[in-house]
Structure 1
């Protein structure tokens, strides 16, 4: 069971974060319901809704953790349904993985953005927001009991492995931490932004194949 970060600032953030909204020992449905009312950080004020994880509970051998919901996820209430989600679906298929058999979630459950005209532009969550939201991720792991957790991107990796973790030094590896087996690779949005899409996509699929 991951204990999460242990610094004094982290403990303070968790005490004022999501922890007080988490029903102790609850099942997945109760957790999802409770998360919908979470006010553990200020992101709930502007986001449309909480976007909780999805996938088969108790039968998912593999859990994938992203950063946070994007614009489409915030609007629809489902994980990985925007452009990055569509790329992830394609990469999973090319890696021989069936999305319907995986549990997908994010380190942060609310969308953080800045408005630019009518557009909502994604903003990376603050470390304090990642820490505040960590109790939900911890409980998802407890309920799903995956054999392997794959972190998609640095935000997710640092949520589980600590703020000093460097994804570039451990990409593609499987690490043991707090009783979990954790793999790390890039977020699919990074592939979309890559200067050489073909090269970045091939490397992403290679990582997923290794974790498959």
Structure 2
């Protein structure tokens, strides 16, 4: 285990007892991020859903299955991606045996940001993908319109890129099959842009390394 992975494991344990806001009261447990450390790509959702809250893992419910399908279609292997949420507890309102999902407030997003910032620092992703408005709000520090930012590559941090797209649960709420299929294809395109951006970045870095190596060779010496 690397030092960064060990540090993140300690932070995960600390987060399990988080009571920084009242959301823990109706939640089963903290749902922390999962994936390789470091990872080239970090996906940031909004909050755990009912299934995630019960199982303790991010994106394992219906929206997670949509996400897995879209990642595969875009050329990702989910095991290579770090997946987390902006808020680590499931915000819900108990109604008999059911728990109804509730929208996050800006204050709840902001108070939970300490965990997300730690994840970004230790995972060191080259690209971060905000899935939904709450995730974009957590990362940008301000309200953000999804449609205004989709398809754009935003500078984030010192050497990272930020991409904004929908949360996969939106596709499940679309009223008809045609809308869902169209929405899914566009979602895949958003994720494919991330793959393309990372590959382009890696190609540029490899090219710079070759240029630097060649420039360091004595005159009359060639690399074969």
In structure 1, stretches of 5+ residues that fail to align are: 1-25
Partner of 2:107: 128
Following the alignment from structure 1 to structure 2, what is the Cα–Cα distance between the partners of residues 125 and 35? 19
Partner of 1:191: 171
What TM-score, normalized to structure 2?
Answer: 0.81
SS in 2 for 1:32: helix
Q: Is 1:37 aligned with 2:17?
A: yes
Following the alignment from structure 1 to structure 2, what is the Cα–Cα distance between the partners of residues 181 and 201? 23
Bigger RCO (CA 8 Å, 6+ sep): 1
SS in 2 for 1:27: helix
Q: Higher helix share goes to which structure?
A: 2
Following the alignment from structure 1 to structure 2, what is the Cα–Cα distance between the partners of residues 113 and 185? 24
CA contact (8 A) 2:133 2:143 kept: no
Following the alignment from structure 1 to structure 2, what is the Cα–Cα distance between the partners of residues 182 and 207? 12
Q: Is 1:69 aligned with 2:48?
A: yes
Partner of 1:171: 150
In structure 2, stretches of 5+ residues that fail to align are: 1-5, 196-224
Larger radius of gyration between Structure 1 and Structure 2:
2
Query: Deviation at 1:162?
Result: 2.5
Partner of 2:123: 144
Q: Equivalent residues in 2 for 1:1-212 (5 A)? A: 27-58=7-38, 60-179=39-158, 180-195=160-175, 196-212=179-195
SS in 2 for 1:108: coil
CA root-mean-square deviation? 1.1
CA contact (8 A) 2:153 2:161 kept: yes
The structure 1 segments of at least 4 consecutive aligned residues displaced by more than 6 Å after TM superposition are: none
Query: Deviation at 1:167?
Result: 1.5
Following the alignment from structure 1 to structure 2, what is the Cα–Cα distance between the partners of residues 163 and 116? 32
Partner of 1:23: none
Following the alignment from structure 1 to structure 2, what is the Cα–Cα distance between the partners of residues 46 and 146? 32
